[in-house]
Copies of this chain bind each other. A is one copy, B any other.
Amino acid sequence: MINPSTDRLRSQGYRMTPQRLVILSILENAGRHLSPQEIFERCRQALPGMTEATVYRTLNFLTEQGLVLPAHIGSGQLVYEIASHEHHHLICRACGETREVDHALLQSLYQQFQVSTGYRIDSMHVTFFGLCPACQNTVVA
């Protein structure tokens, strides 16, 4: 076995390529979500010939394969992060600071949805907006 991601792809008849490796490694090291543009810029440092089309295609592909996760944050654009532990985001609408929220906190809410609506919730990712402690003191609501 070469590495888990490579094996995962090969077992499905797909290939591991330098471009895919670079994107995975960028997301692993980022430790936070990145936009396609941010990813593209970092890619060019490792692979100068890489194009935006490849970034988008690769992100879609890796999402299908479950290796990365897309998330909606403000301004309606998708951002991506490495698929590891389940969590959600809390974003400060004043300073933009992002915090992770563990999935467990949402479990009881999902439970209530299930009971009152019959829906089986499977949102992988939800983003909440608010004011972080620091900004609550400086920003006028």
Contact = CB atoms under 8 A, between A and B. Distances in A.
Interface of A: 72, 76-78, 90, 92-93, 99, 101, 105-106, 108-109, 112-113, 116-123, 126-133, 136
3 smallest beta-carbon distances between A and B, as pairs: A121-B130, A118-B133, A119-B130
A122 B112 CA distance: 21
Copies of this protein in the complex: 2
A90 B117 contact: yes
Nearest to A77: B76
B119 A131 contact: yes
B120 A130 contact: yes
Nearest to A129: B123
A123 B128 contact: yes
24 contacts: A72-B72, A76-B76, A76-B77, A90-B117, A92-B119, A99-B117, A99-B119, A101-B113, A105-B113, A108-B109, A113-B130, A118-B132, A118-B133, A119-B128, A119-B131, A119-B132, A119-B133, A120-B130, A120-B131, A121-B129, A122-B129, A123-B129, A126-B126, A126-B127
Contacts of A118: 132-133
Residue of A92, A99, A119, A128 with most partner-chain B CB within 10 A: A119
